[in-house]
Structure 1
């Protein structure tokens, strides 16, 4: 799994929110609750069950 934040802004708040959302997405993948619309390569979703 590759995760990379995209810079939508450079404020401390935007960096903090990006980090939190990125970690939440990783946790959601492992929990099986990730929204498939948030995944580019959906064929890998079953690999983390």
Structure 2
């Protein structure tokens, strides 16, 4: 159940989580960008 971590809401309570630091959001954005780049590279190689 790691899908709930991607959304800004807690799966159990449904309330928006308090923004303690934008570091997690930056890490998520960078990981998503890296995944997209890897997908594009893998598609271009074929």
The normalised TM-score by structure 2 is: 0.47
Point out which structure has higher relative CO (alpha carbons under 8 A, 6+ apart). 1
The normalised TM-score by structure 1 is: 0.45
Structure with bigger gyration radius:
2
